Structures are given as C-alpha cells and as structure tokens.
Structure 1
C-alpha cells in the first residue's frame, strides 16, 4: 500500500514504517512541523520517501494516516482530495485530552467517515469519541536489544521540554526524586536543569547512555503512555512510574514499581540504586513484559488489518 503520513511522533512512526508498505512523508521548506520529511535521529527504512508538499497531488495513495486535527484540511489542500470523502483515511490519536477531560469531545466525534485509532486503552477511555468508529492498536516498539549494564548508580529520565510541560511531565517532582537518587535527564530542551542532562541525542546514542543508568524513572502525570518507558523496559531497565496513565497496564509488579504515593516511589528508586542485583533481575522481567505486549510483529499485524479495512 502507498501511505501518506506526517512525521509527528518519532518513536511511533519508526515502528509504523517497518511494515513493508510504501510510506510518503511531506516535506516543506525549512522542515517545519507540517513537513519534516524523513527522520534524522531515528533509523527509518528506505521505503519511507519524503515528497515536497507541492508535489503531493501527483501521488497515487491508498490511505492517509492523520495524527493532528489540522492535517484534515492540510491534506485536502495539498492532495486536492478530502480525507474520508475522496481518499481513505484513518486518524491516530496519540494524546490524552486536555482541559475539562470528562467533557472533552474528540475533534472527529461528529464524523463517521474516518476511523479513530487510539494508541492505548487509556486514551480510548478518556476521549469522548462520539459517533466516530474507534478502536485501539497498542504501541509496538522496535527492539533496541538488552543493553542494560546499570553500572551508574543514577536514575535516567526521558522527557521533552521539561520546563514548559512541568506538571504534565511531572518535572516539578524531580527535586523530591533527586533526594533519593542522582538524576540524569534526556530529551529536547533539557539543558539548564540542575541534574545531568543529555539533549537531542540520536535514538541509538540515547539508548546506550540510558542503559548505563541503574533505574528508569517515569514521572509523567498525564500522557497516553510515553514510549520512552517501553524502550527503557526493552533495554532491560527496572522502572519506577507514577500510576497516572497506561503505565499501570504496561508495567507488571515484577517489572518495577508503579504508585500514586510519592514516598513509595522514592523508596523504590533508592532501593534499586542500592541493590544492583535486584535492579538487574527486575529489568529482565521488564524486558520480557515489554516484548510480550509491545512487540513489533503484533503491532504491524494489527495495523495491516486497520489499513486493509480502511482501503476502498
């Protein structure tokens, strides 16, 4: 199949484009948010082709994969075909609703011509999808391999824009966690935090550095899941996470500690730092759990079903 999608979510797209189809990603001058083209920090296969936005009308497509509300209008303008009406489309919802969550309707809630695909059951639970046909395709992650050494008695955290997203990402909690363990923060715009920081590393380099840390800390209060959590588990890291998102489903008891109690979380962090054998054993269980639930083969198979059903 020939699939048009935007480069929005690097880790999710990296998994999605492993499926053996032909993938087209828009390219705009300056590689802005609506046309980043091919990823530069993620390993994408050759069948992912960047196409200048002004040439998209020339492309034959089987389906458009939408990920942001304004892409519906954007696709209509660039393609000369309306998603859901003139060309098959599906909409992937990566995010949890914002604002007054119990009363938040999805932008597609009043349409039934574009299927809505949630990446977690937590998303599906939180959004009011109205009459939009909806389903869940849980994440799949490219396995980085068991790379854990845990040689550094420090906790690794992955969060983009921690200052802007303070309470959402839980970065206001980091000072409390730092009393239990030294912290290293990886991601975009992390420089300037009073911890070790590693900014904008290519994915393979970030994985190598993260795996040297004794434990992975996932402080998010409000998100769909956070693929960095699954990647850390696949690396073989034990995890400590807030019980606020799909993390309660992703992390079984043998793989780490998930709680809403800050005292429980900080105690777990200190325990893993102090006991390398416990950390390694828990990390092995975390990797097994992630492989079982978030394997790439299952993810791609599920998406093939969605795409084949969407195609006219």
Structure 2
C-alpha cells in the first residue's frame, strides 16, 4: 500500500513504518510540526519518503493515516481531495486521552461515521465519546531492542519530553517526591528548562538518539513511569523490552499493561520509593522483575502483532 502519514510521534511512527508498504511523510522547509519529514534520531527504513505539499498534490495514496484534527483540512488544502466516504480512504489514530471536563470528552471525529478512530489503548477508547465513528483499538508495538539491562547506576530513570510544560500530566511533582528518597534521572527533549528548577535528587539529560537513550536507560536499576493522564507511554514498554524492572503510577492504561511480576503498579508513592530502595539492596530481585517485564513486553507489545493488526485495519479501510 501507499500510505500517507504525518510525522507526529516519532517513537510510534518508528514502529508503524516497519511494515511492508510505501510510506510518505510531508516535509516543509522549516521542518515544523506539519512537515517534520523523516525522523533524524530514529532508524526509519528507506521505504519512508519525504514529500512536499506540491509533490503530495501529484501523488496518489491508497490510504491516509491521520493523527490530529486539522490534518483533514490540511490534506484537502494541499491535495484538493477530501477524505472519507467521498474521498480518499482514511483512518484516525488517537494517541491521547481526552482533555477538559469529562462531559466534553467528545472526539473531534465523533460526528462523522466514515473515518474509523483507532485508539492505542482500551482505556482511551473507553474514555472518549466516539459518537458515530467506528472505534477500534490497536495497542502499541515496539521493536525488540535486545536485552540491555545492567542496572549499574543507583538511580531510577524516567523519560519525559517537555517536562516543564507537561509537569502535571507527566507527574513531574511525583518524580520530585520520590527523588527525595531515591535519586532519579530525567531524560528527554526540553529537559534543559528543568535544569533551571532542579530538585534535590534529580538529574537531567537532554536529547539523545534512540540507541543511546536505550543504552543509558538500561544502566539505571529501574524505570519509573509517573504519568497521571496520558495514553500508555511507549518509553515504558521500551524499558520493559530492554529488561528493566518498572515502578508505575497506577493511572490510565498502566494497570492493565504491567503485570505484578514485572514490578509495582500503585498510586502510593511511598510504596514505589520503598520498592526502589529494596531493589537497590536486592539487585537479583530487580533483575528477575526485569526479565519478566521483557518477556511480557515481547509477548504483548511485539512488533509482529502490531504490524499484523495494522495490516488488517488498513485493508479493511481501503475495502
């Protein structure tokens, strides 16, 4: 198939473009949000091709994968074609949990039934009011990055992009509380802003390539997932794939995605901190949890299942 999709979430897109298709990503001269083109720090295959808006107008697509509401208008403006029943086949991937008051959680595509919404977790599908739109779930999938866990660093690690802007959503205050008892390193884009308001026990590291990020993460003795309100973070699944034990705040889809043998899922910060301290004293327990986490991630979030699910979905949409 010839698939058009904007580069919005690099980690998700890295898995998506591993299929046996041709992928087209819009590119603009400034490589801004609507035209980022190919990822610069993620390994994308040669089957991913950049196209300018002018080239998009002259290119035919079998299906368009949307990820933001304004992409419907953007596609029409750039190509002259509509999407859905009276235009090109399309599917909308909903990466995020809804925002605002619970009574306002109606999806932007809820009033049209010709473009299916694919949620990345069952939790997301349950929280959104999908209205007339067919609502499906295709859970995350990640490549097998190999068993890399060493646990040689006596600090937890968390991956948060733009931690200052997303402080409450990402649970940065929860990280700071845990860091009062166990050191925590924060990795991600925009952590430079966090350096100016550093908390005791916190260390920050800025943008890294995906390979380097995984190598550095796996050196810490455990992964901390503090998110309050988000879809299931890919960094959590990647950490499990690397063989890391996990400490997870019991919110959104995490309780369903992380079984007890892989670590601890709880809303009690004292229990997360106590478990971290115990693992520091008992690295064998931490390693056993990490091995269980890796086995679970490969079985439930492996790339083959993810790509098979998407192949079925795209064929159905095109049909």
Both proteins in one fold, TM over 0.5? yes
Pairs within 5 Å for 1:201-212:
201-212=208-219
- Residue pair 1:64, 1:90 contacting (<8 A) in 2 also: yes
Which position in structure 2 is the counterpart of 1:22?
22
Which position in structure 2 is the counterpart of 1:36?
36
Q: Does 1:72 align with 2:49?
A: no
Which position in structure 1 is the counterpart of 2:294?
287
Q: Does 1:146 align with 2:147?
A: yes
Q: Secondary structure at the match of 2:23?
A: strand
Which position in structure 2 is the counterpart of 1:57?
57
Pairs within 5 Å for 1:71-110:
71-84=71-84, 85-110=86-111
Q: Does 1:196 align with 2:197?
A: no
Q: Does 1:263 align with 2:264?
A: no
Which position in structure 1 is the counterpart of 2:10?
10
Q: In 2, distance between residues paired with 1:280 and 1:53?
A: 49
Pairs within 5 Å for 1:98-247:
98-191=99-192, 192=195, 193-194=198-199, 195-247=202-254
After the TM superposition, which parts of structure 1 deviate over 6 Å for at least 4 consecutive aligned residues? Answer: none
Q: Which moved more, 1:178-187 or 1:60-69?
A: 178-187
Which position in structure 2 is the counterpart of 1:277?
284
Deviation at 1:102, TM superposition (A): 4.4
Root-mean-square deviation over aligned CA pairs: 0.9
Q: Does 1:303 align with 2:304?
A: no
- Residue pair 1:180, 1:269 contacting (<8 A) in 2 also: no
- Residue pair 1:102, 1:126 contacting (<8 A) in 2 also: no
TM-score normalized by the length of structure 1: 0.98
Task: Name stretches of at least 5 consecutive residues in structure 1 with no aligned partner.
Answer: none
Deviation at 1:264, TM superposition (A): 1.4
Q: In 1, distance between residues paired with 2:294 and 2:248?
A: 15
The superposition leaves residues 262-303 of structure 1 with CA deviations (integer Å, 9 ceiling, x where unpaired) of 221121222222221111110000000101100100000000
- Residue pair 1:215, 1:240 contacting (<8 A) in 2 also: yes
Deviation at 1:138, TM superposition (A): 0.6
Q: In 2, distance between residues paired with 1:149 and 1:253?
A: 21
TM-score normalized by the length of structure 2: 0.96
Q: Which moved more, 1:289-298 or 1:194-203?
A: 194-203
Q: In 2, distance between residues paired with 1:275 and 1:156?
A: 18
Q: Secondary structure at the match of 1:287?
A: helix
